[in-house]
């Protein structure tokens, strides 16, 4: 199986000699399972002068990253929608699919670390936020009728349970070591299991969505929302039963206590010992 990379190409809180913001490309490898070691993941960083910000410069940097890594990734994820055209073109020019995605766990952590420890040491550093441009997100969509789960329940696993995830029978899915989210083996990880006679088509459809995280929405009733891609979201469930609503609120509270980590699983029925799909997720605050 090949690798997946996460990419950010944006201005940093550093000014050059002409009082213009310096840009930077960051590339890091996505952890794909619970046994990934942090020091085994590829990383690449390079500053870019503001006068050279274009897809051509980014294409050259990507080619250099590929040369350093020794092989190209299967795809590249990026979360900044306003950079969509430039990033997509540069990736196409080196023959790699680009995917808008909020599943950028390692990139988010690396950016935070550089904001705190690297950029303040640079000449021209400007203290303060380096906020990204905020774009409106579309309203949540209904799941396709043929893919709606017949039943679903809230469940909880211990962090230690995920150490054996490589032994589980899973059709579609992705995970990461819970240690990457600063969680201990004793941490309680909440999740949702979906049961459907069309479990495999449902899991296959979900696998192409770049799953980001689940969240509880109480603005229009009580709904469980699945966030995907860079902006998309889906109504996984509408809740009206008081007990179910209480369970949903408990799920959301447990998720916050687990640093945003949670999971979603898809099975044929409650007696199934395998998963058509299983994803370990983390809700994060993107820059």
**Residue 29 pLDDT more than 90?**
yes
DSSP 8-state assignment for residue 82: G
DSSP string, 148-190: --SEEEEEEEEGGGGGGGGGS-EEEEE---GGGGT--TT-EEE
CA 97/CA 106 separation, integer angstroms: 19
- pLDDT on residue 137: 74
Tokens of 61: 């940097």
CA 115/CA 117 separation, integer angstroms: 6
Distances (CA, A) of 161 to 59, 137, 178: 41, 35, 10
- pLDDT on residue 156: 97
Nearest Cα to Cα of residue 261 among 228, 211, 213, 208: 213
For the domain spanning 4-121, the CATH number is 3.30.420.10
Nearest Cα to Cα of residue 44 among 76, 23, 68, 21: 68
CA 9/CA 24 separation, integer angstroms: 6
Among 56-70, 129-143, 209-223, name the most confident range. 56-70
Global pTM?
0.91
> Any idea which of 55-64, 149-158, 170-179, 186-195 has the lowest mean pLDDT?
149-158
Stretch 208-223: mean pLDDT, rounded?
92
DSSP string, 122-153: STTB--S--PPPP---PPPEEPPGGG--SEEE
**Residue 133 pLDDT more than 60?**
no
* Spans of all domains in the chain: 4-121, 141-282
Stretch 197-221: mean pLDDT, rounded?
91
- pLDDT on residue 287: 79
Query: Which residue blocks in the chain are alpha helix, DSSP H?
Result: 55-69, 84-93, 105-117, 199-207, 242-257
């Amino acid at each position: 199986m090949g690798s997946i990379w996460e990419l950010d190409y944006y201005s940093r809180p550093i000014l050059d000699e002409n009082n213009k913001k310096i840009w930077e490309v960051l590339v890091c490898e996505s952890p794909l399972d619970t046994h990934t070691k942090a020091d085994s993941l590829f990383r690449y960083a390079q500053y870019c002068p503001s006068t050279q910000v274009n897809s051509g410069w980014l294409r050259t940097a990507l080619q250099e990253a590929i040369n350093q890594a020794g092989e190209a990734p299967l795809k590249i994820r990026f979360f900044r929608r306003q950079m969509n055209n430039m990033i997509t073109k540069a990736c196409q020019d080196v023959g790699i699919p680009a995917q808008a995605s909020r599943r950028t766990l390692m990139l988010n952590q690396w950016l935070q670390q550089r904001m705190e420890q690297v950029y303040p040491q640079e000449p021209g550093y400007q203290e303060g936020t380096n906020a990204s441009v905020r774009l409106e997100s579309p309203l949540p969509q209904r799941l396709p009728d043929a893919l709606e789960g017949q039943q679903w329940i809230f469940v909880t696993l211990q962090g230690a349970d995920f150490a054996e995830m490589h032994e589980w029978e899973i059709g579609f899915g992705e995970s990461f070591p819970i240690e990457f989210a600063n969680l201990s083996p004793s941490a309680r990880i909440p999740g949702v299991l979906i049961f459907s006679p069309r479990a495999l088509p449902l899991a296959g459809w979900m696998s192409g969505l770049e799953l980001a995280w689940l969240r509880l929405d109480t603005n229009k009733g009580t709904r469980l929302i699945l966030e995907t891609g860079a902006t998309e979201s889906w109504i996984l469930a509408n809740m009206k039963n008081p007990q179910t609503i209480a369970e949903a609120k408990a799920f959301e509270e447990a998720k916050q206590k687990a640093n945003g980590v949670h999971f979603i699983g898809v099975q044929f029925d409650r007696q199934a010992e395998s998963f058509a799909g299983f994803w370990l997720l983390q809700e994060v605050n993107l820059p």
